[in-house]
């Protein structure tokens, strides 16, 4: 008979990622342990982009889209850093 699994020692490494999309390019913008926090961050980022929509159109910058998806901790690239919501103002979108 197999030994029982100790569920308290089991560590779920699934995180919720807010992913920024521009064309075919995607990048993990931010990572959260809960889906609700990721959805709140996605809404905030979309609100920030909407606030600067006119600026983006006049400067011919692509408008990022955001989505939330589950991601494993091991899937994050080494040296990953969060993407600022208004990174396009500094020329660092993706």
Q: Tens digits of per-residue pLDDT, 12-60?
A: 678 999 999 888 888 899 999 999 999 999 999 999 989 888 888 888 8
Q: Name the helix (H) or strand (E) containing 35.
A: helix 35-51
User: Taking the model in full, what pTM does it have?
Assistant: 0.77
Q: What's the average model confidence in pLDDT over 66-83?
A: 91
Give the lowest-confidence range in 1-5, 57-61, 83-87.
1-5
> How would residue 63 be classed by pLDDT, with cut points 50, 70 and 90?
confident
């Amino acid at each position: 008979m197999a030994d029982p699994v100790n569920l308290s020692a089991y560590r779920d490494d699934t995180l919720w990622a807010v992913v920024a999309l521009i064309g075919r390019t995607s990048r993990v913008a931010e990572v959260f342990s809960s889906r609700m926090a990721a959805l709140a961050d996605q809404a905030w980022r979309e609100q920030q982009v909407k606030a600067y929509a006119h600026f983006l159109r006049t400067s011919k910058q692509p408008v990022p889209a955001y989505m939330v998806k589950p991601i494993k901790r091991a899937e994050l690239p080494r040296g990953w850093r969060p993407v600022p919501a208004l990174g396009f103002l500094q020329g660092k979108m993706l």
